[in-house]
Each structure stands twice: as C-alpha cells, then as structure tokens.
Structure 1
Amino acid sequence: MTELTDLDQNASTVVREFLNALEIQAADEASELLTDDIAWLNNSLPVVRGAKRVRQVFDLAAKTHVGFAVQIHHIASSDNVVLTERTDILRFGPVRVAFWVCGTFELRDGKIAVWHDYFSYSNFARGIAVGLFQAVVPNKRLAVS
C-alpha cells in the first residue's frame, strides 16, 4: 500500500473543504478554493468557465433556496488530482434528490482548476422519483443507491 504524501493529503483536504463550504452555502469560502480560470464540467451539460460564472451558479442556488449535501464514499488523490465517489443530495423545499456522482478535481497551486462530475441520468431520475414520493408520503422511506 502506498502512503499518502503531504501533497495528496492537501489536495484531498481542499476538495473536502470545498464540498463542505457548498453544503453550508458558504459561497465566499468555496469560491476562494477555485482558480480564476476554473472549468466546471457535468456530463453532457454546458461547461461553466471561470470563477465568476461558477460563483453565479452558487448565488443562484442560494437565491432559489436549492440546498446541497454530500456523502463522500471514497476519496483518493495523487499528483494534484482528486477522485471522489459520492452521493450528492439536492434539496428543493421538501424534495430531496439523492444521486450517485463520481467527481474528478484537478488542482493547481492549491486551488481547484477543473471540476468534472460524472453521473447517470437514470440514477438522477430515480432520485427525483424517490424524492417526490418521500415528500408526498414522508413516513415511507425508499432506499436510494
């Protein structure tokens, strides 16, 4: 088993801090962890380029009261690249949409330069269906995987 270097631990820490800042809607703190020229990619969605535009997405989520939570299942890093396997949870009022995400974060000078999330649209649709069901019938819990 290979030991984590300080660089790997620092890269993982930056990503954890970033995701934690998003959870508590600390847009200033999250934005400070991004390079000015960040590229945020979500499979088959338009690329969001630049810290200013990414920040606009954070601000829009806050204005529209969209909540975010994350459960990190696995995290690994090497040479300023951090891989995450996680469940992201988007909250729209009483509706919680939980779905699987695999994320790649590329860091430069201790900041996130590329944020690329991969997810399954069918898993996302299932998360919507489960979230809607649980909002309507709150005492019934369906397992989300």
Structure 2
Amino acid sequence: MVRAFLVALERLDADAALALVSDDVVYQNVPLPPARGRAAVEKQLRWMLRYGTGFEARIHHLAADGPVVLTERTDVLRAGSWEAEFWVCGTFEVRDGRVVLWRDYFDWATFLAASARGAGRALFFQAAAAVAARRRNSP
C-alpha cells in the first residue's frame, strides 16, 4: 500500500495517490504544520506536482508493525534541470487499505544544501548550453 502510494507520486499521478489516502489523512513534513484532510493534502500534492517535473523515492528499508509502516529512503525532487537528493524517514499509518498518516522527517540543512547544489548544477548546465549555442551560431 505505501509502496503503491509512493509509486503514484513517482508517476506524478496525484489522482492515483489521492485514491490511496483516507478522507481524514494527515500529511506533515516535520517541523512544518500538518495538512489535515484530503482537500488540504490534495492542495499540497497538486502544487508539488505542478511545479515538479520528477520525483523518485529510493526505499532503503521498509518495516511494518500492524498499521504502522516506516520507510528509510532517499527522495529525489526534480523541477526542470534542478534536482535535490536527500535522506528521508517516513512514518505512514494505514487503516482500511488507505493512508491515514504520512509524516516525513528529514534534516532541513541537508535538504537546503541539496537544493543549493541542484540550483548550482542547473545554472551551470544552462550556462554551458548557452555557450554551446553561441559557438554553434558564430561564424
């Protein structure tokens, strides 16, 4: 169930992901405030998927005890040529075949550093492409 949810996010398929959450789902990137309810989670997912061009969840470990599922993973976010890769620990609770809790923990400093590296790479590749285009167009 949790794997199917993450795969739907990897496909950037908000409808498929939302079909796997309960009406009273709670989603939180700790320490930010939680999004409570399907409508609030849908708003966040659609915003992320509108601006993101890719998402990958590389699951390293997954453990379940009853309704609780824990994941250790590396998440990769993409938006155009920008990419950020960072470690995440996720806690999910599943009830009646639907996600009722999705809480992700990660180190904000690591995320910000990954974001800055991604921005630097994106700028480098844009600049390199511009130089190459100028060279192709020069006599």
TM class by shorter chain equals 0.7 to 0.9
Q: For the Cα contact (< 8 Å) 1:61–1:67, is it kept in 2?
A: no
Percent of aligned positions that are identical: 44
Instruction: Specify the SS of the correspondent of 1:29.
Output: helix
State the alpha-carbon separation in 2 of the partners of residues 66 and 101 from structure 1.
Answer: 19
* Residue of structure 2 equivalent to 1:79: 66
Q: Name the amino acid aligned to 1:29.
A: A
Residue pairs, 1:107-122, within 5 angstroms: 107-122=94-109
In 1, Cα distance between equivalents of 2:61 and 2:71: 6
SS of alignment partner, residue 25 of structure 1: coil
Deviation of 1:92 after TM superposition, in Å, equals: 1.8
Question: Is 1:47 aligned with 2:46?
Answer: no
Which blocks of at least 5 consecutive residues in structure 1 are unaligned?
A: 1-13, 139-145
TM-score relative to the length of structure 1? 0.80
- 1 CA distance for matches of 2:108 and 2:44? 20
**Aligned residue identity for 1:132:** A
Specify every segment of 5 or more residues in structure 2 that has no aligned partner in the other structure, as ranges. 126-139
Structure with max Cα Rg: 2
Tell me which residue corresponds to 1:133: 120
In the TM superposition, 1:58-73 aligns within 5 A as 58-73=45-60
Whole-angstrom distance in 2 between the partners of 1:115 and 1:42: 9
Distance 1:97 1:65 in 2: 11
Task: Give the secondary structure class of the aligned counterpart of 2:9.
Answer: helix
Query: CA offset at residue 66 of structure 1?
Result: 4.5
Which amino acid letter does the alignment assign opposite residue 100 of structure 1? Answer: W
2:132 maps to what in 1? none
Is 2:88 the partner of 1:88?
Answer: no
Deviates more, 1:48-57 or 1:124-133: 124-133
Matched position secondary structure for 2:32:
coil
* Residue of 4, 8, 11 corresponding to 1:24: 11
Q: Provide Cα deviations, 1:43-85, integer angstroms capped at 9, x if missing partner.
A: 1111101111111112222332453211111111111110000
Q: Cα–Cα, structure 1 residues 65 and 100, in superposed 2: closer, same or farther, change >3 Å?
A: closer
Does residue 106 of structure 1 match 2:93?
A: yes
* Deviation beyond 3 Å, 4+ runs, structure 1: none
Structure number with higher helix proportion: 2
SS of equivalent residue, structure 1 residue 83:
strand
SS in 2 for 1:60: helix
